[in-house]
Structure 1
Amino acid sequence: MPSLRALPSLRVLPGFLGRPRPPRLLRTRLVLCVLALIAVVAAVIGTVTTISLHSHLYRQLDDQLAEVAVRAAGPGPPGHGAPPDGDRLRFLTMGGQPLGTVGAVAPSGSGGSGRDSGGTKVLRAGISVQDDSAPTGHGVAVEPLPQEQRSALAHAPRDGEPHTAELPGEGTYRVRSVPVDGGTLLVGLPASGVQDTVSTLVVTEVCVACAGLIAAALVGTASVRLALRPLARVAQTATRVSRLPLHEGEVRLRERVPLRDTDPRSEVGQVAAALNRMLGHVGAALAARHESETRVRRFVADASHELRTPLASIRGYAELTRRGREEVGPQTRYALARVEAESERMTDLVEDLLLLARLDAGRPLSRSEVDLSALVVDAVSDSRAAGPDHRWQLDLPDIPVVVPGDAARLRQVLANLLTNARTHTPEGTVVTARLRHVPAAPGLPPPPDGGAPSGTAEIRVEDDGPGIPAEALPVVFERFARADASRSRAQGSTGLGLAIVRAVVAAHGGRVSAHSSPGRTVFTVGLPLGEGRAAAPPTPADDPPDPGGTAPVHERPPGAPPSDCA
């Protein structure tokens, strides 16, 4: 059995091999259906007309053939009596039939099956041709037929009915036999006129049908396009709605299908009216959702703000009691220490919630030129001090990367990412902080002020720990998100660190993403450089110290490996 590889014909049949065909527009399908119907109707009409004309012309030819046969078998000219057998072909010169008429005299009893020395028993056979010098006065002469044409006539049936015969070199003939004294007379008329008329009709029908299809395609395309304009406006409205950010924030869903396209008497109008009703319900639901979110955010912000003072008081009184002059037992001291620790943790949680509430409310951040290289170095230094059992590496460009933003919040972003890597990976894990400048892609539009787009500052925090479970990765930036034990919150994290990272980065117009697999987890932060400079040449005084006590990181030669700060 041949394999599919050995069947080249299958390569030209993608539709039969499961590959989906490209979809066609509705107006294209409608026009094609109309054209197919017109083509079928034109084919049926043309076929019926051709068959009818063919039958009618052949009936006329057969009637003419019968008249010629009667004249050929009848008596000769007045006063001459019946023509002898040798003059049976004289009718060919008498007129009354078209040029090219053939006649043949066969002996009685041959029946088309007898054979003479030439292969067929036909005594005489001739064809009428134009000859102005002929003595008959009609300008017609009789030319003998060659042997192959005589053989074709001899095989014609002798039943007195008209039949079609092919004469080599002369074409198609209608032949009829007439009994005469002592034999059979065969008379034939050329059918070329009938065939030419039918062929001309077929060509005319094909041309008219093609012209009609072209005209129908043009008119149908214009008519269908005009009829489907309301449906196109419905699709445009749905497309605009699909591009709206409906998942968060306040959404004013004002998109509606125009009223002129909502006529309930048409199918498109019914669809448009239903879409408008659905958009109204969705808009009401979005407004209710936004109002509920606003109340929740206001409550969180107010509660966080109000909780800061009592929490500070609790911490202060607990510390004051623990450090007082009065003797307290060990259990009381332990309880007071736990109260201070939990109050501090609660304070951090309240501060994080308050920050998220402010960011959700769209409160603007302070803007200044921030050197990300210095921030990364400081953050890695702090993380090294907090987690000496990890190995910390830096990978910085040769020149500092400067972005517009809030330095305190960007420092918090770096601290949260590094703390996340330190907290949820075992001892000995290598954590690398990378910073690089990603140039703007060619072809991007320039900023509104006319400056050139300068690209993006990209920060990556990478570790070779156990990784994030696949089911937890899509929600890793959600608030109070938890993963399994491989990245658990055993150290008492609030679960808001990565949520704050996403909110702060979004407030700076950037993006953040996470990719994880066993042995490699990467958090990527992209911050727009705006129209600012990607980097500025450093001065010796600007070089911060390396966390591991090595040479300044800005002096790392291009292409050198990351510096190990462990």
Structure 2
Amino acid sequence: MRRLPARLRPRSLRTRLVLIATVLATAAVLVCQATGLTLMRSWLIGQVDDRLTDFRPPSPVYRDIASGRAPAHRPPDHEALPSDFRVYFYDAEGELLPDSLGSGRGTPRLARTVTAGGLADGRPATVPAEDGDGSWRVVADSGPDGMRAVVALPLDTVRDATSRLLWFSLAIGAVTAAGVTLLGGAAVRLGLRPLTRVEHTARSIAGGRLEQKVADTSPDTEVGRLGIAFNTMLDQLRAALHRKDRTERRLRRFMADAGHELRTPLTSLQGFAELLLHEPHMSPGRRREAHELIAQNADRMSRLVDSLFLLAKLGEAPGTEHGPVDLLSLAADSIAASAVRHPGRRITLAPLERGEGDGSGELDVVEGSGDPDQLAQVLANLLDNACTHTPPGARVQVHVGSLRVGPRTGGADRQGRTSAGPALPGGARAHVIEVVDDGPGLTPEDARQVFDRFYRAAPASGAPRDSGSGLGLAIASTIAEAHGGRLELDTGPGEGCAFRLLLPAGPS
């Protein structure tokens, strides 16, 4: 099947729909008219056949024709009533006789002999006219003494009727095509108006107006369902773009912060190394001091790089190897290690007490599942954070126990609580290690950023401003998420801080 040239193909959907509707409607009208025309022609010819078969020449007519006399009952031509019937006779030898009955113009083209005509008795047939392009309907009948008669009727009336009906059908088809083109174009334009609005919305969005939405969202129509799908796609696209923007901002901030943190020790290393190179006769005391400062800055840079490597490793390998962990013993060991690093601090261990929890007021063994080394690092970071950012006389407590996840207990979001991880399923059982202090607490703005990488809140009085790298809580939160739990903070100005590590009691 040959395809239309590209310049002749309709490009608009509206044009295609109107063209298809016009072709189908016109074809349907023409098929109906052709069927009616065929049925009418068949019915008219049937009427002619009935007239032919009902007519029989009387026997005396055959004898009169054979003897060469005019039929006795035949009226004069001027008294004969007009009739379309024509009757022709064949003699006993099968030769066509010149005499015929009937009047009117035109004659059928009949064979000169019976055998050449091939007409069967009582079976109507169509033969052409002797002159012109008309046709006749004829039927043969046997008479006495071997004679035969052929009765003929012209089909002029049938031809005229069918011709008029044909022209009428063509006119109806043309009117139908024109009407469908005009009315169908208006109907299609009206029906495609919602789709046109979707098109305009898509163009606006392509032009940069990402806040646009499709208004036609009825689930009962195809365009409405398209609008729903389009809006859903837009929401996902906006969310993806926002995530991309946040990721890019966080990445730029991370790179800037990492560069800033690494630049300080690198600058110190470079300065003291140049000092040793340019002053070879430096006193032993100053040389030893320079060596110590170089070692301190190298150690600081090494710890920073190790922290960054750990964050990258945790992000790439979320499947942490789990094993049974005694959280009570883990908390006790972490408190002991923190007491060595902060000898002036008093850190106590107590059971978890919650109105909706399972705390009994006594220290019981709480066995969870996870990586002991990583969980110990989380506790070490939380305890160092509490000791660094609270006044020297502030009290620090570690609570160990189990609870049911909820807004009043833990694991779920609520006002005044922040976390970098998602909430745990409500009502689920979780094991908890909580580090609580009665220090000055954090403002809401600081609390929202406390789990960000390289973020450092103002330390307590007496602590160095640049102590720590600002990665401890980010590492602790990442480890908690890798264990299927979360690290959260409840705080407020003047209310102290309560960092809570929650681990699922069942398989994570």
TM-score, normalised via structure 1 length = 0.42
- Structure number with bigger Rg: 2
TM-score, normalised via structure 2 length = 0.46
